[in-house]
Amino acid sequence: MEKSRLEINPVEITFLGTSSGVPTRSRNVSSIALRLPQRAEVWLLDCGEGTQHQLLRSDLKISQLRRIFVTHLHGDHIFGLLGLLASCGMAGNAEAIDIYGPEGLAPYLQACTKYSYTRLNYPIKVHTVQPGIVYEDAEFIVTCGSLKHRVPAYGYRFTEKDRPGKFDIAQAQALGIPSGPIYGKLKRGETITLEDGRVINGTELCAPPELGRKVVYCTDTVYCDGAVELAQEADLLIHEATFAHADAQMAFDRLHSTSTMAAQVALGAGVKELIMTHFSPRYAPGNPIILDDLLQEARAIFPNTRLAYDFYTHAVPRRREPVGNNPESIPESIPESSSEPSPAPSKKIIRKRKPKLDSKLDSKLDEEELNVTQPLQL
Ligand SMILES: [Zn+2]
Ligand SMILES: [Zn+2]
């Protein structure tokens, strides 16, 4: 974690569950925490059974939980929701939690609270998502796109907005530019003409813009163009890899991905790095095929790949480079925060480019307050 400590505004991902379907001794079912320390918030992606126990064993603060994004309604992604929400209420420090997910999530939670006589004493809003923008604030925009699974499933894309580079006041003063509103224009990169006729281009007085980070989460799904589109040029793609390539038929039958499908999505989308998760317990150590085989299969297609494991925390560093300048090559090094072996040296590869996801897609949201008025029974 050395790297993340050095990062001023880290975005950190902590895997809380990396097994598909059922938990194992070493892997819980799906959940990922997106930690945003600069705003003291934790966002969850999926919430399989036992997620609150995993949170308690991590160094994340449950009191900072603010948003939960649900990919689909299979139990291994949602059975932990009500227990976690109830505990947040009992701890007495939950302010409000917004939950985003497919149609059916709100009635599911309403039924759970009703029949377990659970009363949640803080506001919970359930947003039914459709492809497009699901959430936006000054710093982040979250979009979702349809995946291909046995039930409606959505992948999520978390985009941090670009920030203008730091304005060099000393240089502006050295050039004799009078302070005042003119500095604001130059900070925004505008070109201005001074009273003495000099033309000053604001971008030349600013450091390069800081590119916002992009993290994409695709599960559960078989390989699909929607995943490639959603993951375009992401800094980090987290993609399910339930099966090994040898078990591809099972992946097609059950609409899950193989390691090679995950790698093909990463390659096609031109992402910086890929972390695979949602592994079938059939590849536990001692079996004919183990997870290291899935890793090697994926790295043959997309070298900068690693395997997730429970409590693995991954920092996504900021990129300081001109907006729009996306390097074509995979980074030579990977952060030191992983205990996974380093990938083979990367080689220049030609990537298929797809049009960027249109963020102006229909962003209709249905919001439902959970109607939970029954007293909480312990
Ligand atoms: Zn699943
Ligand atoms: Zn599923």
Express each pLDDT in 118-136 by its tens digit. Answer: 999 899 999 999 999 999 9
Higher-confidence residue: 351 or 65? 65
Q: Using 50, 70 and 90 to split pLDDT, how confident is the model at 317?
A: confident
Question: Looking at the CA of 29, which ligand is closest?
Answer: 1
Q: What are phi and psi of 204, to 5 degrees?
A: -75, -15
How far, in Å, is the centroid of ligand 1 from the Cα of 228? 19
Question: Looking at the CA of 17, which ligand is closest?
Answer: 1
What digits encode the pLDDT tens for the residues 17-61? 999 999 999 999 999 999 998 889 999 999 999 999 999 999 999
The Cα 364–Cα 303 span in angstroms is 38
Q: Using 50, 70 and 90 to split pLDDT, how confident is the model at 347?
A: very low
Percent of the chain exceeding pLDDT 70 equals 81
The Cα 18–Cα 242 span in angstroms is 10
How far, in Å, is the centroid of ligand 2 from the Cα of 43? 20
The angle at the Cα of 118, spanning 115 to 123, to the nearest 5 degrees, equals: 125
pLDDT of residue 23: 97
Q: Using 50, 70 and 90 to split pLDDT, how confident is the model at 91?
A: confident
pLDDT of residue 370: 59
Strand partners, 237: 216, 274
Q: What is the mean pLDDT of residues 103-120?
A: 96
How far, in Å, is the centroid of ligand 2 from the Cα of 217? 14
**One-character DSSP codes across 48-94:** -TTHHHHHHHSS--GGGEEEEE-----HHHHTTHHHHHHHHHHHT--
- Using alpha carbons, list the distances in angstroms from residue 89 to 67, 96, 97: 15, 10, 10
Q: Using 50, 70 and 90 to split pLDDT, how confident is the model at 320?
A: low
Q: Using 50, 70 and 90 to split pLDDT, how confident is the model at 90?
A: confident
pLDDT of residue 15: 98
pLDDT of residue 367: 53
Q: Return mean pLDDT, the chain.
A: 85
In whole angstroms, what separates CA 342 from the centre of its chain?
22
How far, in Å, is the centroid of ligand 1 from the Cα of 73? 9
What digits encode the pLDDT tens for the residues 13-27? 999 999 999 999 999
Question: Looking at the CA of 241, which ligand is closest?
Answer: 1
- Of 332, 260, 344, 339, the residue nearest 301 (C-alpha): 260
Enter the pTM of the model.
0.80
Burial (Cβ within 10 Å: 0-12, 13-18, ≥19) of residue 278: buried
Task: Give 289's Cβ-side CA count (13 Å radius).
Answer: 18
Question: Looking at the CA of 23, which ligand is closest?
Answer: 1
Q: What is the mean pLDDT of residues 4-18?
A: 77
Active site residue 76: yes
The Cα 226–Cα 219 span in angstroms is 12
Give me the catalytic one of 46, 59, 76, 358.
76
What digits encode the pLDDT tens for the residues 217-270? 999 999 999 999 999 999 999 999 999 999 999 999 999 999 999 999 999 999
How far, in Å, is the centroid of ligand 1 from the Cα of 285? 21
Q: What is the mean pLDDT of residues 296-321?
A: 93
Q: What is the mean pLDDT of residues 181-204?
A: 88
How far, in Å, is the centroid of ligand 1 from the Cα of 29? 8
